[in-house]
């Protein structure tokens, strides 16, 4: 198995383990991890179930050991150590997707 795939599988297993320990979803663990790092997670929801899931990240905390464990595993799959051109290519394609979405949405809004 390739190294990057192994890293992602280890990260998913780590998140799942923490989620199980707290009776939370993996998404809730990820949101809580970001919040405890002082980040403002912008969550887009389309359904009441998604809103309920996102709100489930509030009112509880990860232990210091869990944060350290998630940090250690997450940093092994970080895109920050990848070649600069790959990051630029990723940003370029995401920008194209966003532009296509905005243009398509504008066309549908005029109908």
**What's the pLDDT tens digit per position in 51-73?**
999 999 999 999 999 999 999 88
Closest CA to 35 of 24, 23, 43, 47: 43
Whether 77 and 7 have beta carbons less than 8 Å apart is answered as yes
The reported pTM is 0.68
Closest CA to 70 of 13, 24, 3, 28: 13
Q: Confidence band (pLDDT; 50, 70, 90) for 1?
A: very low
What is the average per-residue pLDDT within 101-111?
Answer: 65
Tens of pLDDT along 15-37? 999 999 999 999 999 999 999 98
């Amino acid at each position: 198995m390739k190294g990057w795939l192994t890293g992602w599988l280890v990260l998913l297993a780590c998140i799942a383990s923490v989620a199980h320990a707290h009776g939370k979803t993996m998404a809730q663990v990820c949101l809580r991890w970001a919040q405890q790092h002082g980040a403002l997670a912008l969550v887009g929801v389309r359904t009441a179930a998604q809103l309920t899931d996102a709100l489930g990240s509030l009112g509880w905390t990860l232990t210091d050991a869990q944060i350290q464990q998630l940090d250690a595993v997450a940093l092994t799959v970080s895109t920050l150590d990848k070649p600069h051109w790959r990051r630029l290519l990723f940003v370029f394609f995401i920008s194209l997707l966003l532009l296509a979405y905005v243009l398509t949405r504008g066309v549908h809004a005029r109908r």
